Amino acid sequence: LAQVPQRFIRSSEQLGAMVCLSRATRSTRVVGHLANLEAGATVTLRSADGTAVLVHKEAAMLSPVLADMLSDSGDDEVEIPLTTINSHILFRIAEYCTHHLVEPESKVVTATGKLLTDCGASSWDAAFVGVMYANELQDLSIAADFLAMDSLVRLACAQQARNLLSSGFSCKASRIDVEVL
């Protein structure tokens, strides 16, 4: 676990098992524990930069897009290339899916409250997106939209809106901040 940045480490009860294999270094980074991994129960998601992220097959099925790809394939060991998603964001999506195997997904309705939990997000979800920068939230919402993960799109967008509302920026400054002109 020493190779993994502290901000990625969650308790093993929350995270389940996740492995990230970097093609460049051929090293394996483990977050959580591997006790719950069963043979044939994982899927490899390959990011745009060539990083392979192993997740539980059930966790990957939280995305309707991935669920369709997995239902079309009868293989036990499947690798799905996601050429539009970088490894950092793919790792965060895998973390989100792995957590929500156990805990139900939040129903974020609006971003008018001072806290994200006031908008319907769980405390885990609020902490999950609360540490991300604007560009990370934007990339996460685009990737989640690509994967048809509506609850994650709403969560990322609600955090973006909360950040903009609490920052005191004008609309013009906010557009420049997130590079929407």
Q: What percent of the chain has pLDDT over 70?
A: 67
Task: Report the C-alpha gap between 175 and 181 in whole angstroms.
Answer: 6
Report the relative pairing of strands 52-56 and 28-32 from DSSP bridges.
unpaired
27 pLDDT band, cuts 50/70/90, is very low
Task: Report the C-alpha gap between 88 and 127 in whole angstroms.
Answer: 17
CA torsion angle for 61, 62, 65, 70 (degrees, to 10)?
0
- DSSP annotation of 117: G
pLDDT per residue as tens digits for the range 119-141: 888 899 999 999 999 999 999 99
At 157, list the tokens. Answer: 């967008």
Residue 17 has pLDDT above 50, yes or no: no
- The average pLDDT across 34-48 equals 69
At 12, list the tokens. Answer: 């093993």
| pLDDT score at 93 | 97
The radius of gyration of the chain's CA atoms, rounded to the nearest angstrom, is 17
